[in-house]
Amino acid sequence: MAVVGPGALGRVFAARLAAVVPTALVARSRERAAELGEGFELVHPSGRSERVRVPVFGPEEAPPARWAVVLVKGPDTEAAARVAGGLAREGVLSLQNGWVRERLRAAAGEGRLVDQGATTAAAMREAGRTVWVAAGETWLPPAFAALAERLTEAGLPAAATPEVAARRLEKLAVNLVVNPLTAVLDVPNGGLLEPELWPTVRDLVLEMHPVLAARGPLPDPETLLGRIRRVLAATAANTSSMRADVRAGRPTEIEEITGVLLAWGRAGGRALPRHEALYRMVRALKQVHRGEPLEE
């Protein structure tokens, strides 16, 4: 097994999988692999903490694997997919945020299964530790049934099901609201539940729903709003990944999330002014935090 991407969630998946099957964690470079080779502190959802060591490799040194799970940020998709495609004999599965299926398949190459699943597993890095927030649930395409069994055995509940198409779109819908809005407003997830902000959440859902529904199965707007409300309540104190990236001046996943929606809207002849405004603001904030001049 190979896990490509040693971020917080990648570390959790690698640590759990290593307990049931030989697993390699693949970093972007040999130097980064050496840094991670000393291990890391993993805090479980129960609060229990342990020191974990998983074999970590640079992309050139990583051993072949039956499966490769891609857990990198959206901008790194192509590079990670090329590495994963070179390692995996049977299949490459992305569990990334946003929508990267087409880019993943183009970069990973032929001769193996390549697709994107969806997961509600959550983790974050905090004060030098990797905090496993929730095991969540993971949905894989039916052809990845053997990988789903391994994930479940490792304590990461997973199912290989045709419902993965709906789960992918639903996760994208949640990300389309939570990530850019918390980044622009600089609030934790629970801040979006405030009475003054909830109408904005509703407006974003109503605007994007026809575009997403044209791409596959999706709950009706009211049901989707209810699910977003539950996600926000369950993660109220959390900082979204996009908010954290903007604050740190790192590249965001705005292209893989809102950029994809806007492209779909253009293809269908539908304007998305609220999402367009968020897209522009996130891009501007990234430049401000980096100290770069704003684009004209």
The string of DSSP codes covering 124-187 is EEETTEEEEEE---EEE-GGGHHHHHHHHHTT--EEE-TTHHHHHHHHHHHHHHHHHHHHHHT-
Residue 289 has a pLDDT of: 62
Region of 243 please: left (phi>0), alpha (psi -120 to 50) or beta: alpha
Cα distance between residue 35 and residue 275, in whole Å: 39
Cα distance between residue 155 and residue 201, in whole Å: 33
Using only the alpha carbons of the chain, give its radius of gyration: 19
Helix (H) or strand (E) holding 281, with range, is: helix 273-290
Cα distance between residue 228 and residue 222, in whole Å: 10
Residue 37 has a pLDDT of: 87
The 10 Å Cβ neighbour count of residue 90 is 14
Q: Does domain 2-160 have CATH number 3.40.50.720?
A: yes
Report in angstroms the alpha-carbon separations of 73 from 80, 200, 255, 256.
9, 27, 11, 9
CATH of the structural domain 164-290, one choice from 3.60.21.10, 1.10.3720.10, 1.10.1040.10, 1.20.210.10: 1.10.1040.10
Would you state the torsion angle of the CA atoms of residues 170, 171, 177, 178, taken in this order, to the nearest 10 degrees? 150
Residue 292's Cβ-side half-sphere holds a number of Cα atoms within 13 Å equal to: 13
Q: Please, is 200 exposed, middle or buried when counting C-beta atoms within 10 Å of its C-beta (0-12, 13-18, 19+)?
A: middle
Active site residues: 171
Per-domain boundaries in the chain: 2-160, 164-290
pLDDT, mean of each 10-residue run, the chain (296 residues) = 96 97 96 91 94 95 97 96 97 96 95 96 88 93 98 98 95 98 97 98 99 96 97 91 92 97 98 98 81 53
Cα distance between residue 50 and residue 41, in whole Å: 6
Say what the pTM is.
0.92
What is the separation of C-alpha 283 from the centre of its chain, rounded to a whole number of angstroms?
A: 19
